[in-house]
Amino acid sequence: MQHERQHYVNGAWVEPLEPKLLDVVNPSTEEVFTQIAVGGAADVDRAVAAAKAAFPSFSRTSREQRLDLLKAILSEYEKRKSDIADALSQEMGAPVKFALERQAATGTGHLKRMIQVLEEYEFEKLEGTTLIAREPIGVVGLITPWNWPINQIVCKVAPGIAAGCTMVLKPSEVAPLNAIIWSEVMHAAGVPKGVYNMVQGEGHVVGAAMSSHPDIDMMSFTGSTRAGILVAQAAATTVKRVSQELGGKSANILLPDVDLQTAVTKGVVGMMGNSGQSCNAPTRMFVPAARHEEAKAIAKAAAEKLVVGDVADPKTNLGPVVSEVQFEKIQRLIQAGIDEGAELVTGGPGRPENLNRGYFVRPTIFAGVRNDMTIAREEIFGPVLSILPYKDESEVIEMANDTIYGLAAYVQASDVKKAREVSSQMRAGNVFMNYPVGDTAAPFGGYKQSGNGREYGKWALDDFTEIKAVIGYETA
């Protein structure tokens, strides 16, 4: 890789205007393995100016031109997918198999979906004598996270391109290398100069400069609720649109008629995938009080089968968490669970016994958890599952919704009608019934402090367009 110490602006790799380097740490080894350039406000100004200059022409391109561009990006992405997976494994600690088949594969999925959406999307329609048009919103600022980095880059850039927007991306400085390869993909695909720009950097500098920039028309942010609030506050001064996908503390409701062995096992494995670093992970498992002991035993067995360790080994299920900061936060919250009286079923503080370095966390199950405990309230973002017993349906619905978050909810039941009834009462943007296959056409986003706006498929394209009414377009 050649471009760690550069930004990508106006169709070229450029030196930073405010030279500064930041270490990138391999979380498996705790060692610095490269450095990236981190930009400042002047770098943001240069990138935004390029995007602003490119907007008038790119916003007027045809549907067919943008389809051809997305297809070229997809073709180049497929050539580099294994490189992206390797980078993800090194910079964020994803096991190689997971990095390729789950993380990198999401880029392919979003590009294919957006091509399909763009082929059929209705940019204009008549309502009476008025033309309702959806037009590109303008220059968009994109801030993406480290936990599903390429997923979030592609699910923002692809609809931006499809809509006819121009853009500036600030990827996570914790896991930045996949974004560099993505920028190389965009260059190889022939994206016109200034349409796509990338400035590496820290959120409190580059992200803040983007959020408050008068020439950025929209901010699309994925990350913590704390950081999302800062983005929204900075953006308010220029009254720009802000789309946010933030934190979560998702409930997984196992109704009394469910096959407990299957439901608990899948719930544990699903929650702990990506080392528990998913904002929509089902971290609160609600089980009938009468079956609490049975659920504990199943969860313990499922967690203890997970292999934590060498990310190069295809048998490894969980790699490390991404950083020392995250590791220490998770350790603090595990200790809080113990101190507040939750039952530690398996796992606990410290690394797995066979590992003496790296930010590896023991797969941890707590049982007998109350909904007012810290581990049931705070987003842990590690492989830590809380099991909460409930008495009846009304109580579990109330407890599931008793959270500041509303990104996702999960409902498991043999009776599909009952599962649908409970799903309809969940205050969450996504509800997953009986562990379905993911759907890139489904709108992704949350209620309450999990954010606003929606990503994926046509819903993302809606977010990146502005609505214009041309009254009198047709003669009555």
User: CA-based angle 356:341:396, to the nearest 5?
Assistant: 110
* Candidate list 76, 91, 173, 245, residue with the active-site label: 245
| 245 is an active site residue | yes
Backbone angles phi, psi at 148, to 5 degrees: -130, 65
What is the distance between the alpha carbons of residues 410 and 373, in angstroms, rounded to a whole number?
20
> H helices of 273-323, where?
292-304
- Kindly name the residue from 279, 340, 398, 421 that is annotated as catalytic: 279
Task: Return the SS3 of 441.
Answer: coil
Count the alpha carbons within 13 Å of 53 in the hemisphere toward its beta carbon: 13
Residues 209 and 41: beta-carbon distance below 8 Å: yes
Q: Which of 32, 30, 13, 43 is nearest to 201 (CA)?
A: 43
Point out which residues pair with 405 in neighbouring strands: 448
Known catalytic membership, residue 279: yes
Question: CB of 144 within 8 A of CB of 132?
Answer: no
E-assigned strands of 340-453?
Answer: 343-346, 364-367, 384-390, 405-406, 408-412, 430-433, 447-448, 451-452
Query: From the centroid of its chain, how far is CA 49?
Result: 28
Angstrom distance (rounded) from CA 413 to CA 252:
11
Helices 292-304, 260-272: crossing angle, 10 deg rounding: 50
C-alpha to C-alpha distance for 344 and 365, rounded to whole angstroms:
6
Distance CA 443, CA 460 (A): 8
Q: At which residue do the structure tokens 């113990």 appear?
A: 338
What CA–CA distances, in Å, run from 236 to 142, 208, 218, 233, 413?
16, 12, 11, 5, 43
Catalytic residues: 245, 279
